[in-house]
Amino acid sequence: MIDISSQTEAALAAIATAETLDALEAQRLDALGKKGWVSLALKTLGGMSPEERTAAAPAIQSARASIAEALDAKKAALEAAALEEQLARETVDLTLPAVAAPKGSVHPVSQVMDELAEIFADLGFAVATGPEIEDDWHNFTALNMDETHPARAMHDTFYFPDRTPGGPASSSEAVGQQEREILLRTHTSPVQIRSMLAQGAPIRIIAPGRVYRSDSDATHTPMFHQVEGLVIDRDIHLGHLKWTLETFFKAFFEREDITLRLRPSYFPFTEPSVEVDVGYSTEGGRRVVGGHGDAPGHAWMELGGSGMVNRRVLEFAGVDADEYQGFAFGLGIDRIAMLKYGMNDLRAFFDGDPRWLAHYGFSPFDQPTLSAGVGARA
């Protein structure tokens, strides 16, 4: 008992004079650790007689409690003193530049949409939008796609399970139509129809936005982004279409050696129809737009579809096809973003990986301008 009392007093004195957390930890281990004298004293209780145990146990437990309480109090005092010393030592200079902190970034798709709008606005195009939940008349019928067209198939298009009542959208629809199938739009072309119905002709618009198709791999996702272009006026021909696309690609990729090839194709909503190919080369394992596709080391790559708007589409939209004609084109925003900024997997656009976003994202201050460069980064 006398030995425990003296050891307790010595331990409390050592704790009181400890000047660092490391010294305090040494005192804790010496007394309360697995091999500390308090722990060893507790182990001796099992070999004592009941009378000895009754006398010794309270003293040992009291020593343990006193030492633990002293340790906690001293630790709190040392931590408070360390904090006070740190606060006294550290100062904040408000005149220094702010330290860069983790922040959000503009997604490449949003940035490319802004770049598109900037370039086409300079060419006199307005930006038009439409609903992502469409009816089959605007999405298919008004675009001259018949009932048996493969794009209407369930495995290509996301249909809603129920039909929604609604009257005809224009006098060109079948008389007596009382209900339409509702779906997620498969392209932004319905915006053409809605814009012509609302504004008539002449018209010059682009329609960027999300579209949905039942497809998924490294270069296709169920939801992706597309921009549709439409020009309706008098005396419009394919030469205007090619000049518009060449001017856009030169501004978008910020180089003058852009060569386009219009390759005959077929789309229900344009006649004649052409695929738009651009010359490119491979540098450092990535495709780089520029040069002539038939030159050595170069090839052609398809970027979109286009053509002269079909007369039936103009009639569905209430435009006089004998007085007006025009062209339309469609480009995949995700695809041209991948091409411009060197991305190789479309699925990464929608993974939400902060490492990918930190690498490919844009600062909110990187506003596309024709004078500073639509793809310039701060």
Distance CA 227, CA 208 (A): 4
Q: What is the pLDDT of residue 169?
A: 42
By CB atoms closer than 10 A (0-12, 13-18, 19+), residue 17 is exposed
Provide DSSP, 145-214: --TT-GGGSTTTS-EEEEEEE---SSTTSPTT--EEEEEE-SSSTHHHHHHHHHH-SSEEEEEEEEEE-S
Contact indicator for 252, 289 with CB cutoff of 8 Å? no
Place of tokens 């201050």: 365
Which contiguous run of DSSP H or E holds residue 265? strand 260-267
Nearest Cα neighbor of 112 from 314, 276, 334, 344 is: 334
Task: Grade residue 205 by pLDDT with cuts at 50, 70 and 90.
Answer: very high
Sequence-separated (6 or more) residues with CB below 8 Å from residue 86: none
**Pairing label, strands 203-212, 223-233:** antiparallel
- Average pLDDT over all residues of the chain: 86
Which contiguous run of DSSP H or E holds residue 313? helix 311-316
Stretch 290-303: mean pLDDT: 86
The better pLDDT of the pair 262, 167 is held by: 262
In the chain, how many H helices and how many E strands?
A: 11, 11
Left (φ > 0), alpha (ψ -120 to 50) or beta: where does 224 sit? Answer: beta
For 312, the 3-state DSSP assignment is helix
Give the CATH architecture of domain 108-360: 2-Layer Sandwich (3.30)
Distance CA 37, CA 278 (A): 84
* pLDDT single digits (tens) 85-106: 888 888 877 887 776 666 778 8
| 152 pLDDT higher than 90 | no
DSSP state letter for 107: -
* pLDDT single digits (tens) 247-290: 999 999 988 988 999 999 999 999 999 999 998 888 877 788 88
DSSP state letter for 350: G
For the chain, first and last CA: distance in Å?
76
CA 257 to chain centroid, in Å, comes to: 31
Which contiguous run of DSSP H or E holds residue 110? helix 108-122
Contact indicator for 63, 4 with CB cutoff of 8 Å? yes
